[in-house]
Structure 1
C-alpha cells in the first residue's frame, strides 16, 4: 500500500442517481420524487454542499434524465457542483463513469460515493466519512450492527447456516476511498470482465484492498419501496412552526465593493470582516439557527478559525438550511431587510433572491428582500457601515 500524506486531501462527493428505482412505486425514478415537497436528490445534495471541506460534487444520472435533473437541482447554485455525467447499465458502470469524469476534471484526493436515494445522511456522518481514510486505511464504509438473526439458505430454501450475529453488519453510504485506488480498481474490474459488484467496498475487496468500517446512522435509510416514503419522519411527523430572527452589522473600510446576499456590488467602500462580510447572509443564517435553537453563526463558524477568513457566506446559509432538513424540518419563508444609505439594493434585488433561494434550497417565491435607509441617522445614516435584519419561518417535527 502506498504511503499516505499527512496533509488533508481534497474531498469529492460522487452521488449515484442513474438507477430507475421502479420498486419505489412511481413512474419517475425515486431520486426525483418529492419528499416533503422537495426532490430526494436535492435533499441528498444539500448536505454535501453545506460542508466547505467538500470541494467537488458530481452526480451520475440516467439516460434521458437531463430535464429531471435540471428541475431537481434548479435551486442549487454552487460552483462546486459539476455538470451531471451520464451513467451506465449497472451501478458499477455508473460509478466508474463518474470517477472518470472527476479524473478528467483534474481531481485527485478522497472520494465519497453516495446513493442519491439516501437523503438523510447527516453532515456529521459525511464529515466522519471524509476523515475515515488516512494513514491506516485506503477505504472505509459506514456500517450498523445487525439486530435480526440472519440465516443463509440453500437452493431449495432450506436453512444452511446461521452466522454469528456479532460479526455481521449492514452497510450504508457514503463510502470513502482514495480516489486513485478506487478508479484503478474499477478499471481493472472492467478489463477483467468482473461485473455485478453491488457496492464499491466489494470491488475494492476484490482488488485486494482492506476495507475499514466506521459507525453509520440508523436514520440514514435508503428509499427503496413505497412504504419507505410513507414511514420517513419528515413525511409523517407533525410539524410545529418556529420563527427565528437574525441581525448583523459591518463597518465600512477601504475597498471597491461589498457582498450583499451573495452578490458582489460595486461600491466606494468595502467592509471590515473576517469572512466576506455579507450582512444579509449572516443575518439569514442566524435567523435559521435561532429557529433551530442551535446557537448563532459564531458558534459554528468562529472568527478565530483561520479557515473562515474570506469565506463565501452562502456556505454558512447552506449549512443552516441543511440543519433544518437533517432534523426533518422545512423552510417556509425567509424575509430580509437591508439597512444602508448606499449602495442601492433595488437593481440587485432579484439576483440576491436567486442566490439566497439557491443557498437555502427553497423557491425564489419563498424569499423576500427589502431595503431601507435610516434617514441619515445613526451609523448607517452617517455611511459608517450597513446592517441587515432577517426572519426565518420554519417547521420542525414536534418534540416530546
Structure 2
C-alpha cells in the first residue's frame, strides 16, 4: 500500500475498486495476456486503473493478477497510487473471491468489481453504480439488447427467435455492499456463475441495472483491439477545468504563492501551506478530468496534510492527467490581491509551476489584479486566485 492509499484508509475506506486481471487471455494474439497488450501507447490494464485512481469517490484500488505477470503489472501500474496486487485463482470467480478476501482487513463499505479488459471505463458509469448502492445491495451497468436474438440448432440452423424484451447486456464495474458480496462468493465457491451479479442473485438478493455505455466494451478478439485502437488515431479531446481558492490573512512575515515564498507583512491561514495559487491550479486540473477537487483527494480533516507544501497537490493532479494518457496544454492563473505585489515574482511563479508539472514555461500564464480596494481582498483580509486548465485527453 502506498502512502496516499494508507492515508485514505485512515480517513475511512468507503469504497474500493477491485480489478480482475488474472486471466491468460491469449485469444487476441501475441505472447502477452490481452490486459497487457498496448492500446494507445499504454497497456490495456492501465486505462481502467487510471480512471479508478482519478475518481474522487474511489478510496483505493486493488488488482488481482496472475503470479507470473508481476513484472507486466508493475509496468502497467507505474506511478499510480494502488494497493499491493494479490494473486488470483484458476477461474475468474476464484480470482474475485480471493481479491475480496484480501480486502477484509481493510473493511470497505462497498466494492466495485471490474474486468481489466474493459479499458474505456468512464467516470459517469462509475457514478451511476455508486449512486445505486445507496439503496441496493448490488448494481451493475448494462445496455438494453437491441439486436434480434436467434437460437441455433446443432447444425447451425435457426431453432427459434428469442424474445429480447427485458434483456440487457451486462457490463462492469459491478458494485456491491462488501459484506453481502463477500458472503455470496464464499457460498458460491466451486460453482461457475457468469458474473458477480449472478453470485449475489443466487443468495436471493436483488441487483439493479444502471445505464452503461457503448464505449465500455470488452476487448476479447483481435478485431476488438483494432477497433479500440482507432479511438486513438484522432486529434484527441480538449477538456477545460476551472479552479478558485481563497485564504484568509493571518500572522506571519511571508506568503507562499505558486510555490514561491514572498515576504509580506502577513501570512495566510490554511490547513496546508495555504498556497491559493497552487490550490486553484490543482482544482482546475481536477475539474478538467472530472476528478473532484483537492478536498476529496486530500481532506483537510487528515492530519497528514497539515502544513503540507501545496506542490504535493498540484503534482498529484498532473499525475492523474498523465495516467489517463493526457497532457496539460495550458494553465492560466490570476491572483487577486492588493498586496503583495505579484509583478516582481511572476517569472519565479511561472518557473516553479512549470517545474512541478514538467511543463515548458510557455504553457503557464500568471497574471495579477486588484479588486480596487473592494471586498475582503481590497481590505487586505485575504487573497484569492482563479485558474483555468486546458487538457488534451485521448479521443
- TM norm structure 2: 0.69
Q: Compared with structure 1, are the counterparts of its residues 390 and 163 closer, same or farther at alpha carbon in structure 2 (3 Å cutoff)?
A: closer
Q: Compared with structure 1, are the counterparts of its residues 241 and 173 closer, same or farther at alpha carbon in structure 2 (3 Å cutoff)?
A: closer
Contact preservation (8 Å) 1:334, 1:368: no
Report the secondary structure of 1:25's partner residue. Answer: coil
Which residue number in structure 1 is paired with residue 129 of structure 2? 129
Which residue number in structure 2 is paired with residue 213 of structure 1? 209
Q: CA deviation at 1:28?
A: 1.7
Q: CA deviation at 1:230?
A: 2.0
Q: Compared with structure 1, are the counterparts of its residues 164 and 260 closer, same or farther at alpha carbon in structure 2 (3 Å cutoff)?
A: farther
Decide which moves more: 53-62 or 388-397.
388-397
Which residue number in structure 2 is paired with residue 330 of structure 1? 326
Contact preservation (8 Å) 1:52, 1:315: no
Which residue number in structure 2 is paired with residue 144 of structure 1? 143
Q: Compared with structure 1, are the counterparts of its residues 235 and 103 closer, same or farther at alpha carbon in structure 2 (3 Å cutoff)?
A: same
Q: Compared with structure 1, are the counterparts of its residues 71 and 333 closer, same or farther at alpha carbon in structure 2 (3 Å cutoff)?
A: farther
Q: Provide the rounded CA distance (Å) in 1 between the counterparts of 2:241 and 2:163.
A: 53
Which residue number in structure 2 is paired with residue 100 of structure 1? 101
Matched, 1:239 2:238: no
Q: Compared with structure 1, are the counterparts of its residues 164 and 319 closer, same or farther at alpha carbon in structure 2 (3 Å cutoff)?
A: farther
Aligned partner of 1:71 among 65, 75, 80: 75
Q: Compared with structure 1, are the counterparts of its residues 140 and 334 closer, same or farther at alpha carbon in structure 2 (3 Å cutoff)?
A: same
Matched, 1:163 2:162: yes
Report Cα offsets for 1:332-376 as digits up to 9, x if no partner.
66789999899xx99xx89x84xx5xxxxxxxx6687999x99xx
Q: CA deviation at 1:390?
A: 8.3
Q: Provide the rounded CA distance (Å) in 2 between the counterparts of 1:217 and 1:241.
A: 18
Report Cα offsets for 1:163-215 as digits up to 9, x if no partner.
2112211110011112111111111122xx32x22311122222332222111
Report the secondary structure of 1:209's partner residue. Answer: coil
- TM norm structure 1: 0.68
1:270-309 equivalent positions in 2, closer than 5 A: 271-272=269-270, 277=275, 279-280=277-278, 282-286=280-284, 301=293
Q: Provide the rounded CA distance (Å) in 2 between the counterparts of 1:241 and 1:91.
A: 34
Q: Provide the rounded CA distance (Å) in 2 between the counterparts of 1:64 and 1:258.
A: 51
Which residue number in structure 1 is paired with residue 197 of structure 2? 201
Report Cα offsets for 1:253-292 as digits up to 9, x if no partner.
5599999999xxxxx95544899656336325526857x8
- Structure 1's unaligned 5+ residue stretches are 1-7, 263-267, 357-364
Q: Compared with structure 1, are the counterparts of its residues 232 and 103 closer, same or farther at alpha carbon in structure 2 (3 Å cutoff)?
A: same
Report Cα offsets for 1:213-233 as digits up to 9, x if no partner.
111111111122222222227
- Structure 2's unaligned 5+ residue stretches are 1-11, 260-265, 306-312, 336-341, 368-376
Which residue number in structure 2 is paired with residue 394 of structure 1? 392
Report the secondary structure of 1:22's partner residue. Answer: coil
Matched, 1:34 2:34: no
Aligned residues: 349
> Aligned-residue CA RMSD in angstroms?
5.0
